[in-house]
């Protein structure tokens, strides 16, 4: 069984990744994220998660507030 990352629709343009515009499909990063989402959550008071443009959940990744993500069905591709 292959582990597939969760898929989300980005509801706002990312400030960290110029390719990630509102409407882009992003995926949960399955690799090490070095606690960056937890750090951003602590700093902003808004829950964050690490996402990637890679449908397999690989690098590079960036953080996004959960409020800016709309969960999608996994068979949906960009």
pLDDT for the residue 1: 47
Q: E-assigned strands of 1-78?
A: 7-10, 25-28, 48-52, 61-65, 69-72
Closest C-alpha among 2, 15, 6, 16 to residue 61:
16
What's the token pair of residue 57? Answer: 């959940």
Domain segments of the chain as ranges: 7-72
Residues whose CB is less than 8 angstroms from the CB of residue 2 and which lie 6 or more positions away in sequence, other chains included: none
Residues of the chain with confidence (pLDDT) below 70: 1, 74-78
> Residue 14's pLDDT is what?
96
- pLDDT for 74 equals 61
- The DSSP bridge pattern shows strands 69-72 and 7-10 to be antiparallel
């Amino acid at each position: 069984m292959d582990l597939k990352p969760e898929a989300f629709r980005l509801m706002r343009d990312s400030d960290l990744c110029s390719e990630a515009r509102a409407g882009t499909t992003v995926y949960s990063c399955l690799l090490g994220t070095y606690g960056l989402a937890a750090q951003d959550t602590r700093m902003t008071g808004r829950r964050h998660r690490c996402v990637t443009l890679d449908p397999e959940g690989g690098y590079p990744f960036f953080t996004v507030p959960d409020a800016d993500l709309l969960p999608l069905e996994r068979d949906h591709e960009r």
